[in-house]
Structures are given as C-alpha cells and as structure tokens.
Amino acid sequence: GLALGLWRRQAALAAAREDEEEKELRQRFMAPPVSGLRELRRRRRELRSRMELLIMETQAEVCRALAALDPGASFAVDSWERKEGGGGISCVLQDGEVFEKAGVNVSVVSGVLSEEAARQMRSRGKSLKAKDGKLPFCAMGVSSVIHPKNPHVPTMHFNYRYFEIEEADGTKQWWFGGGTDLTPTYLNEEDAVHFHKTLKEACDKHDLKLYPKYKKWCDDYFYIKHRGERRGIGGIFFDDMDSPSKEEVFQFVKSCAKAVVPCYIPIVKKHCHDSFTPEEKLWQQLRRGRYVEFNLVYDRGTKFGLLTPGSRIESILMSLPLTARWEYMHNPPESSKEAEILEVLRNPKDWVH
C-alpha cells in the first residue's frame, strides 16, 4: 500500500510538473506549436522537435524585441494549417510608428515533394531517389523580414531552416540552411561593422572558417544580376549544411538564431527617431523596389514556397514591403549619399578586418 501511495504521489507530482512546463512554454511562444506541446515533449530528444522549439523561441524573442520598440503597434498572430500536412504561425505587425511592416513566420510542413521542388533540389546536386515517383519530406523554419518606416533604419531579413527527405530505400537526407542579412537605404559604417561583428562572433564559436565563407556566400546569393548590385550589405548565408554532424550543425544554427536580436535591435534603437527628408524617403522606396525584384526573381525560399502545393501565399509574400517605387532611369548624383550605398552594393566590403 505504501509503495502504491508513493508511486501515485510521484505520478501526480510528475503530471503537475508537466502541466507547469506546458504553461510556461505556452507563455514563451506566440502561439501553440504546430506539432503540439505534448508531441514535442514526447519526442523532445529528436532533432526535429528541438529545431521546432528553437524556431518557436526565436519567433517569440524577435517579436517581443520589436514590439518593445514600437509600443503603439501589435502583432497579428495567425495560426494556419496546410491540408497536405503541417502548418505554421505568422506574426505580422503593420503600420506601426517604427515599423511599416514586420513579419516573423514559423512553418512546419510535411508531405510529398512536388516535381518542381525536387527538380530545384537536384539542380543543386542532390541525388534524390524517389519511391514510386514520391519523395516524402519534412521542412521547418523561421523566417522574417522587417521594413522600418525611417530610411535611416535598415531593413533586416533572417531565416533558419531544417529539411529532411526520405528516399526510396528508407535512408534520410537532411540539411540545414539559413542566414541573416542587412539592407540599409543609407550607409552607416558603424552599423555595418556592428552587424557583421555580431554575426562573426556567433560563427567563430564553432569554426573560424565559417564567417568568411558564409559572408562571401551571402554577397554572392543576394545578387541582383540584372542590376549588377547586391540587395544589401550582406551578413551570412549558407545552405545544404550537413556536416560535421547533425548535433554540431544544430548548435551552430542555434548560435546564429540567438544573434538576430543583438545584431539588429541596437541599430533600430539608435536611428528610429532620426529626422529624414521627403527625398530620403523616396530613395528608401526605390531601394525597396530592388528588394522586391530580388525576392520575386531570385529568392530560393520564395520560389520553393510558390512551387509547393497548398503553401500559404500570404506568408510567402510577407517579405514584400507595404510600399515601394520604380522610377524610370533614376540615377543619383555622383558623390551623393545615395551613390555611396550603391558603390558598396556593387563592390562588397570586408567590414570586420
């Protein structure tokens, strides 16, 4: 009887602890996770569950940091489901005092890879062996684009994702991808150095070779070929990362995700009350036009989303600004502040040495 009573008491304590843990997690996130808290707890040692918890935490951290700078505005939190499997949580703030549009999305989707998406991956050198023409996949990530009102506050984008594909013989291919990059309207060297240094520190914890490699990859990836210029002043970018080991890559991705708030929020704080002229606002609108061109023509994530059946178009196009302009043959005067940023976009700089 005594042993049974003791067992019951321990079981009750464990259940209470679990409820407490669940309540704490609920308060920590912007919405309940796509896979459900119980399922995540049941599989908490699996990397998929740990990655989902990481992207949920990153979403909440970034949303809270942005909301603290724009107290008059609030995030609309929108949970959605995908009938083919999975779903996501979109958090979008619009028309604030500081941010014109800021979105932080989480998606956790699974199903069968579309032909188009599989073709895109094979073109990157992936040998994917389908079973009866089908490739089951699971993909999850957190993705954000922040468009501030003030032209002296840069736009920022980050994305961290995990992909898993099951091949015909049951083997699983997996990889991580992601990055964080900055797109200023006007160049501020001190901000550029702060941004790059923070990302370099996150990379250096794992391997000193990572920052220079991923900085170059970022400059090459965010290249608008038809304009001959980069989308912004870069940061880091990587894809198809599957070594040295799953755990080591996950820890690296975690360090990068944790660097988002410290690399960007101080820059917003510093400039969100700067005064600006109508001409500076116009230049911001023209630069945003370039942002849109890159996202719709070249961005791999946007393309993958548009090619995936049942994907949520509103979430994919969340990265686009509320307003942008395309003026015919607009050329800024030589040696102007506008020409200065163009010079850096055409010839990327090393900001940390």
Domain ranges in the chain are 28-346
pLDDT digits (tens, 9 = 90+) for 54-95: 999 999 999 999 999 998 889 999 999 988 889 999 999 999
User: 28-346 domain in CATH 3.40.1500.10?
Assistant: yes
Residue 3 has pLDDT above 90, yes or no: no
Residue 275 has pLDDT above 90, yes or no: yes
Compute the average pLDDT of residues 13-30.
74
State percent of the chain over pLDDT 90.
71
Which candidate, 73, 99, 78, places its Cα nearest to that of 90? 78
Return the SS3 of 19: helix
CB-based contact 21:44 (threshold 8 Å): no
pLDDT band, very low/low/confident/very high, at 122 (cuts 50, 70, 90): confident
Backbone phi and psi for residue 131, each to the nearest 5 degrees, phi listed first = -110, 115
State percent of the chain over pLDDT 70.
96
DSSP string, 320-332: S-S-----TT--P
Compute the average pLDDT of residues 278-284.
97
Compute the average pLDDT of residues 28-51.
90
Two tokens, residue 39: 């399922």
Q: Which residues pair with 162 in a beta bridge?
A: 140, 176
d(C-alpha 63, C-alpha 61), whole Å: 6
pLDDT band, very low/low/confident/very high, at 18 (cuts 50, 70, 90): low
- Name residue, tokens 């599957």: 242
- Name every residue whose Cβ is closer than 8 Å to that of residue 27 and which is 6 or more positions away in sequence: none
Give the number of other CB atoms < 10 A from CB of residue 149. 19
CA distance readout (Å), 239 to 7, 43, 162, 243, 328: 49, 26, 10, 11, 36
First vs last Cα of the chain: how many Å apart? Answer: 71
Q: To the nearest whole number, what is the mean pLDDT of the chain?
A: 91
- Point out the residues that are catalytic: 157
